[in-house]
């Protein structure tokens, strides 16, 4: 997702929504020390721990209209790797979090409430009401999830859930009985897409890189077929699972996996391009190559559309409400891979990039 990044870029790489003013010389009531990860050097290939630095920052006292929040869950997502080259060195690493308001001089954001926001990888954040209005920061008081974990606000009941809900339904427009393929099928977005496709009465084929993930997709989530892309003969296996061709493809990965799926699409098939993780750890000069697909696209008259979930910002709560309803009805299941400890955020991030997660990868601070 580009929102946090745009926000940062628009302001010359300064993470201005984090208050950075100097401590006033007046008597401090409370000194809060925030821990934050700053970008120390640009990634090359798989990110290295030494690319980020964990530093401390003393936060100033709150001014009127400001609130202090303490991170409870941090999100680690593939887009962070994709957007990193555009971040300026020294800025707080991007990312959203669920945080508890622990101090406040704002009626709108009172102590005890939980917020979700693009605060970056930091433990404590001061935000003003004005800053919180910026739509790109996506600061919202967390909706009531009942007994469900707050962390779902970063997954099935947050941005990835909405990427699945809007990105699949609005672009693929699936019809009952159609065949749907989803890559990255056992991840945060893909696992939701496949289940929504089942809710819509489709035949669903999930592609992921691990047989255990495949068992979860078939046995618990109700996918019809699973294909492990790390095994040979993806083309033949897909043809067996989809003997009548593919009508909709939800693409989380790109590369040769996607070229293979595109080559087996039906006339007027629809493709929703959500992401391209096969290339995220590659440098521009060494991007993976894949079979040319324009021939299949032209002959089958495919419609291919990329999206960013925040395109549906105006309908944001519709997706969350619907996914919550499906969860309560037992139609939508979810899993999280939870890493404990703020200090382990980087490890959680690279584990996720390498397939270590099932469902949404989050860090419990
Ligand atoms: N457009 C949007 O608004 C939007 C929003 C959210 C996410 N996204 C994109 O959607 C995709 C999935 O995101 P997510 O948050 O749901 O992540 P995720 O699927 O939960 O985690 C990433 C997964 O990618 C798979 N992967 C890693 N390297 C791969 C490779 N070379 N080939 C194939 N699969 C690979 C791994 O699973 P395996 O074990 O299967 O390899 C890993 O678990 C990403 O491309 C992301 O950038 C886009």
pLDDT in tens, 179-232: 999 999 999 999 999 999 999 999 999 999 999 999 999 999 999 999 999 999
> Given this model, what pLDDT does residue 29 score?
56
pLDDT in tens, 161-178: 999 999 999 999 999 999
Neighbours of 124 (CB within 10 A): 20
Distance between CA atoms of 341 and 100, rounded to whole angstroms? 16
Q: What letters, b where the CB count within 10 A reaches 16 and e where it falls short, cover 312-346?
A: beeebeebbebbbebbeeeebbbbbbbbeebeebb
Distance between CA atoms of 262 and 228, rounded to whole angstroms? 17
d(CA 254, ligand 1 centre) in Å: 10
Q: Is the CB of 78 inside a 6 Å radius of any atom of ligand 1?
A: yes
> Given this model, what pLDDT does residue 248 score?
98
How are beta strands 246-251 and 179-183 bridged, if at all?
Answer: parallel
Distance between CA atoms of 180 and 246, rounded to whole angstroms? 6
Look over the chain and give the mean of its residue pLDDT values, rounded to a whole number: 92
Distance between CA atoms of 207 and 58, rounded to whole angstroms? 46
The stretches of the chain forming alpha helices (DSSP H) are 3-10, 78-83, 129-132, 159-172, 190-199, 211-215, 234-241, 255-262, 294-299, 316-328, 345-353
Average pLDDT of 12-25?
34
Q: For ligand 1, what atom is nearest to the CA of residue 277?
A: 45
Mutate to test the pocket of ligand 1, among 184, 193, 319 (most ligand atoms within 8 A of CB): 184
End-to-end CA distance of the chain: 22
Residue 289 per-residue DSSP state: P
Nearest CA to ligand 1 atom 36: 355
d(CA 104, ligand 1 centre) in Å: 37
Domains and CATH numbers, the chain: 3-154+335-364 (3.90.180.10), 159-309 (3.40.50.720)
Using N-to-C axis directions, what is the helix angle for 159-172 and 190-199, rounded to 10°?
A: 50
Distance between CA atoms of 150 and 210, rounded to whole angstroms? 28
Q: Is the CB of 101 inside a 6 Å radius of any atom of ligand 1?
A: no
> Given this model, what pLDDT does residue 200 score?
98
Distance between CA atoms of 15 and 4, rounded to whole angstroms? 9
Question: Does the pLDDT value for residue 139 go beyond 70?
Answer: yes
Nearest CA to ligand 1 atom 37: 355
> Given this model, what pLDDT does residue 2 score?
38
pLDDT in tens, 219-251: 999 999 999 999 999 999 999 999 999 999 999
Contact 309, 159 (CB under 8 A): yes
> How would DSSP label each residue in 60-79?
PPPPTTEEEEEEEEEE--HH
* Percent of the chain whose pLDDT exceeds 70: 92
């Amino acid at each position: 997702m580009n929102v946090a990044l745009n926000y940062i870029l628009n302001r010359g790489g300064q993470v201005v929504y984090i208050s950075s003013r100097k401590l006033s010389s007046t008597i401090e009531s409370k000194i809060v020390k925030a821990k934050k990860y700053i970008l120390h050097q640009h990634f090359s290939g798989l990110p290295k721990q030494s690319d980020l630095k964990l530093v401390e920052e003393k936060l100033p006292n709150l001014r009127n209209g400001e609130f202090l929040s303490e991170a409870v869950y941090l999100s680690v997502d593939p887009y962070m790797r994709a957007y990193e080259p555009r971040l300026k060195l020294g800025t707080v690493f991007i990312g959203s979090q669920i945080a508890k308001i622990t101090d406040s001089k704002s009626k709108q954001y009172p102590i005890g409430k939980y917020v979700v926001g693009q605060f970056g990888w930091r433990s404590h954040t001061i935000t003003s009401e004005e800053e919180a209005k910026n739509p790109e920061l996506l600061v919202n008081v967390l909706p009531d999830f009942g007994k469900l974990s707050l962390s779902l606000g970063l997954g099935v009941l947050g941005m990835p859930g909405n990427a699945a809900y809007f990105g699949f339904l609005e672009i693929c427009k699936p019809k009952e009985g159609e065949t749907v393929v989803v890559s990255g099928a056992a991840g945060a977005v893909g696992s939701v897409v496949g289940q929504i496709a089942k809710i819509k009465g489709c035949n669903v084929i999930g592609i992921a890189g691990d047989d255990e993930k495949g068992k979860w997709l078939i046995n618990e989530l109700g996918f019809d077929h699973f294909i492990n892309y790390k095994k040979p003969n993806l083309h033949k296996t897909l043809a067996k699972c989809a003997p009548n061709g593919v009508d909709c493809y939800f693409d989380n990965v790109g590369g040769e996996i996607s070229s293979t799926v595109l080559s087996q699409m039906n006339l007027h098939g629809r493709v929703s391009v959500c992401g391209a993780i096969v290339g995220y750890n590659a440098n521009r000069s060494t991007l993976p190559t894949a079979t040319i697909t324009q021939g299949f696209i032209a002959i089958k008259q495919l419609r291919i559309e990329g999206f960013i979930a925040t395109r549906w910002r105006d309908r944001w709560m519709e997706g969350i409400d619907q996914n919550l309803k499906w969860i309560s009805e037992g139609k939508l299941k979810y899993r999280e891979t939870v890493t404990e400890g703020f200090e382990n955020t980087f490890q959680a991030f690279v584990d996720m990039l390498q397939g270590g997660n099932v469902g949404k990868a989050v860090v419990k601070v």
